A and B are shown apart, each in its own frame.
Chain A
Amino acid sequence: MSAPGSQEFGVRPSLGLSRLLSWFASQNVLLVVGAVIFLTIVALALLAPLIAPYDPNTIDFSQKLRAPGLEHLLGTDELGRDIFSRIVYGARTSLLIGVTVLAFSMALGVPIGLVAGYFGGRVDTVLMRVSDVFLAFPPLLLPIAITAMLGAGLFNAMMALAISWFPWYARIIRGSVMGVREELYIAAAKTMGVSAPRIMLRHALPNSWTPTIVQASMDFGYAILAAASLSFIGIGARPPTIEWGLMVAQSRTKFLDFWWTAACPGLAIFLTVLAVNLVGDGIRDLLDPKSRAR
């Protein structure tokens, strides 16, 4: 919105800083910034062997705990491994975590929500009450319990997160399927004798996807964050997997004297999650104008 007055009366608006800022805002600059950072991280992950100056797993005690500098951009850890190279390779793990957790959450949640929303009634009640149980645990606690029982490891941690999160997707899909269930084209398909699974997959689902995509774009960062927390407390990724949360955990005994060992991987998590959230907010604004940030 421009300031009242100036334009209506044909006065040429000044090209001040505030105008520049409002132009940026209207172009959704945060989405652009987020997307640029995110794509950079994707590029790091894809091109890791080309970008990383050192092998991320090579131990060299003669180089241990070097401060950031020209030789080692972000310093080295207590085994003399180059932290920058490890962060570059760690990007692969983090992106993999985001994609896997969301894929499995949706694989569980979408069919449940679809069936509950389409059939309604008792089927709906039973499915939704069962998913509610998974939401009755404090966040992070259920993944911790599940991983503790399955055994520590990155794959188990990702499965645990997916099991704890699928109810959100079930709820969202259920809600939007209920919205389209009464539409004319669904009724038409029913009259023509199209089978229920086919209606659900071919007609109901494509018309109720949008909120799920919005939710997924918001959850991607949380999945990375939660998995990093699990790794940090020792039940997520394990060596030799290179994962940022695990890198921070491994720096625990030394970080007060050698800050870069904890701060660099920690900030890598922060930047990635921030970028993903910015993109998520942008996607939400584009797809769902009602919730546009005021």
Chain B
Amino acid sequence: MWVYAAKRVVMMVGIMFGVLVVTFALSRVLPSSPVEIMLGHRPTPEQVEAAKQALGLDRPLYIQFVSYLGDLLRGDLGVSLRTGRPVLSELFLRMTATFELTTLAVVLVVLAGVPLGVLSAVKRNAPVDHAVRTISMAGVALPIFLVGMLLQMLFYGAMGQALPLQGRIGSEILLDYPFERVSGLYLIDSLIAGQWEAFVSSARHLALPVLTLAAASLAVISRITRNMMLEVLDKDYIRTAWAYGVARRRIHYRYALKATLVPMLTVIGLTYGFMLGGSVVVEAVFDWPGLGGYVVGAISRNDYPAVMGVTLFLATMYLAINLVIDLLYHAVDPRLRIP
């Protein structure tokens, strides 16, 4: 186990190094160089030289890369060109909003998608199965921003503002029922502070973005669960269980579903990654104050350090999640422990 974990960590460090090379290349080598952005149109050659020296761009690339790595190790992701504040501290302000959104969406996907997939597999070729498969086919083809906007039209427009249009919490709620940011997750913090109104408001604000983000993945997860279940249901030990007269429910949920849980972990990890990317679009639709909204704002203002900061941060999170899942995989499945 420990040997495997160590190997896996070394591998992750290797990939992380590659990721850093890519982000470095993106921020330094591409045509729209930082100097042009700093100086605007038609700078004098002297100005360009001075700016290059100030940024260290006159040094050889590999030295620039080493100093880039050094900065990162010290937690220095650069300074936002727009706000003039360190990118890292801005990320910390906003990452919990994204974390709350994506995590709830993953939970929803697992709680709804897995049972749907099981149902579809168990009732293979029955109307339920066809319905689930049709919905999942449609879900995969829907643009994520359209889902969000349709939900806004339905729950805010047609249903008379049943759910809020955008934002993370009502601004007047925040003034009337203040709470301390302990975890940064509004649902938890408002509960800790005992501010029920704030809790309700943030839950209502979460509903549509979470549903939007979950929609596409729900389709994928139910499809994958269905296929894995069908495979397992064909296995000999399931047939034996049937022959022994084991109850249907027990076979489906205790024997078959259990066998699909391990590969399911990998799928959940991939889903999380998919959502980290998708959250950029969802946060733009719902004006959600997370990393995605931040990166879109940064792009529109050519704030390159901020864009690269978010990219690096989310890529690291994605790698870390996959590492944890791989290790869990190993811990959960006893077959992998046989030397």
Contacts and interface: CB of A to CB of B under 8 A. Distances in A.
Interface of A: 129-130, 132-134, 136-142, 144-146, 148-152, 221, 225, 228-229, 232-235, 245, 248-249, 255-257, 259, 262-263, 266-267, 269-270, 273-274, 277-278, 294
B11 to A, nearest CB: 9
Contacts of A151: 31-32
The interface residues of chain A, by DSSP majority, are classed as helix
Given A138-B274, A144-B295, A149 B32 contact: yes
A188 B276 CA distance: 50
A141 B277 contact: yes
A139 B271 CA distance: 10
Interface in B106-165: 124, 137-138, 140-146, 149-150, 152-153, 156-157, 165
Contacts of A150: 30-32
Contacts of B296: 233-234
B299 A148 contact: yes
Interface residues of B, number: 53
Contacts of A269: 143, 146
Contact of B146 (A130, A134, A270, A294): A270
Interface in B293-321: 295-296, 298-300, 304, 307-308, 311, 314-315, 318-319
Contact of A139 (B22, B30, B150, B277): B277
B150 A263 contact: yes
Contacts of B31: 150-151
A275 B273 CA distance: 26
Contacts of B319: 136
B21 interface: yes
B300 A277 contact: no
Contact of A145 (B145, B230, B311): B311
B194 interface: no
Contact of A134 (B22, B274, B314): B22
Interface of B: 14-16, 18-19, 21-23, 26-27, 30-32, 124, 137-138, 140-146, 149-150, 152-153, 156-157, 165, 227, 230, 273-274, 276-278, 280-281, 284, 295-296, 298-300, 304, 307-308, 311, 314-315, 318-319
Contacts of B152: 256
A132 B15 contact: yes
A142 B300 CA distance: 17
Given A130-B18, A133-B22, A148-B299, A248 B307 contact: no
Contacts of A233: 280-281, 284, 296, 299
A256 B308 contact: no
Contacts of B16: 136
